[in-house]
Amino acid sequence: MVRGVRRIRLHDTRTGDVADLVPRDPGRIGIYACGPTVYSRLHIGNARPFVVFSLLKRFLAREGYETTLVINVTDVNDKIYDAARATGQDSASLAREMTAHYVADTDRLALGRPDHEPLASEMVDGILALIASLVQRRHAYAAGGDVYFRVRSLPEYGQLSHRDLDQMDQGEGVEGAALKEDPLDFALWKAAKPGEDTTWESPWGPGRPGWHIECSAMAEALLGVGLDIHGGGIDLLFPHHENEAAQTLAAHGRPLARIWMHNGMVQAAGDEKMSKSLGNIRGLADVLDEFGRDAVVLWLVSGHYRQPLAFTSDALAQAAASAQRIRDAGRRLQPGPPSEELTALREAFFAGLADDFNTPRALAALWDWIREANRAAGAGREQLAEMLSVLGLDNLLTIDDAAPHEVVALAEQRARARAARDWAEADRLRDELREHGWEVRDGPSGAELIRTA
């Protein structure tokens, strides 16, 4: 494959405009996306950046770029201390438990793992070195065992989130207020407080990292300063990403990332942000149980990543029906190469993705492709698989995966009947499967379910 032939454009929050993707290192793309704070199970909204950036990586890899995706895990944080205290657990074991849930829940999306999934707790040496360099450059100061970033020392502060200094609230409340030179300053290191059971030694006394510094340290360690794409939810733009950008720029004199991408929020009924504090969250695992993985992935790519996406049962049910239509289309394809019309629609599909990762535009081209293939009784299974693969949905062309639970259960009953040599019952179950639109074929490697309707 010829590398990087297609012009790929992405929206950069810093400039507010689309920009050509020009890799720092030719042929290679590094993506850093902010991952979860592991104090509870993942909700469906948290799954959106995981899916968006996993699929963006797939697309860029398909375009010939050697692509590295880093999604961190924040396993040291006030929220974790609070949640652990509420359950009487120690915070490290709660974080370990929730990290394991996060991995298991996102594994069910079947999009693969990011290349690196660093834990904040394993990056403390790098964090301490970065804080020390900020103190040395007078962009940070120690106070009462804490260390704060001196916001007004950096003229570029605010250029990512486009806010005036007087509209900024670091969200740190009264904590440390008396120690800060300026209310705008934010914590890089927090002195250990009574009841906090996870702490590290530092030149400023025992404590633990502030939230924002871990991402600067991890991104620098794994992808280097000036990485290609920094991603995350738009809710993280301020203060988290503004502070990440500030820390790295202040420490190195070079910007952290070339392009800042932000995904919109998943909204609950009434256009509300889905959040724990509003009590309207749906767990990722629950949604996967109810609608299945294919529907969840298809629903998440049905909207443009920058727009908010409404979570409704109707939308998920519609996505499940769409997944079924794709399966059906795959079965109807004839063998042989695709027509020119289909190949042009495939181009439109990839052109949509190259234009700020416009998955709804790509999906529209995919549906046109399917309609045209149906109309012309066309061929081109590989072409369809190629498009679906970038969306993490090529499994829709694997017929066995498509058998619903009740069909699998009937096939298992039939296998038991055959094992017991109850041929009449086995035949009856075969007829029942046929009524469901499935045929069971006994082959050398066991029974195979083939869809007939």
Q: Which residues pair with 266 in a beta bridge?
A: 309
Closer residue to Zn ion, CB minimum distance, 63 or 244: 244
Helix (H, G, I), strand (E, B) or coil at 183: coil
Closer residue to Zn ion, CB minimum distance, 215 or 365: 215
Minimum distance between the CB of residue 273 and Zn ion, rounded to whole angstroms? 18
Distances (CA, A) of 350 to 29, 59, 345: 18, 9, 9
| The pair of three-digit structure tokens given for residue 30, joined into one six-digit string | 């590094």
Distances (CA, A) of 15 to 12, 271, 356: 6, 27, 14
Helix (H, G, I), strand (E, B) or coil at 320: helix
Torsions phi, psi for 15 (to 5 deg)? -90, -15
Helix (H, G, I), strand (E, B) or coil at 232: strand
Minimum distance between the CB of residue 180 and Zn ion, rounded to whole angstroms? 22
Helix (H, G, I), strand (E, B) or coil at 122: helix
Other beta carbons less than 10 A from residue 1's beta carbon = 7
Under the rule (CB under 5 A), what is the footprint of Zn ion?
Answer: 34, 215
Minimum distance between the CB of residue 331 and Zn ion, rounded to whole angstroms? 43
| Element holding 45 (H helix, E strand) | helix 44-62
Distance (Å, whole) CA 183 – CA 179 = 9
Closer residue to Zn ion, CB minimum distance, 34 or 147: 34
| Element holding 420 (H helix, E strand) | none
Closer residue to Zn ion, CB minimum distance, 49 or 338: 49
Give the length of the chain.
Answer: 453
Closer residue to Zn ion, CB minimum distance, 37 or 383: 37
Closer residue to Zn ion, CB minimum distance, 44 or 215: 215
Q: What does the CA dihedral 414, 420, 425, 429 come to, rounded to 10 degrees?
A: 0
Minimum distance between the CB of residue 225 and Zn ion, rounded to whole angstroms? 15
Minimum distance between the CB of residue 99 and Zn ion, rounded to whole angstroms? 16
Minimum distance between the CB of residue 201 and Zn ion, rounded to whole angstroms? 24
Minimum distance between the CB of residue 46 and Zn ion, rounded to whole angstroms? 13
Closer residue to Zn ion, CB minimum distance, 32 or 65: 32
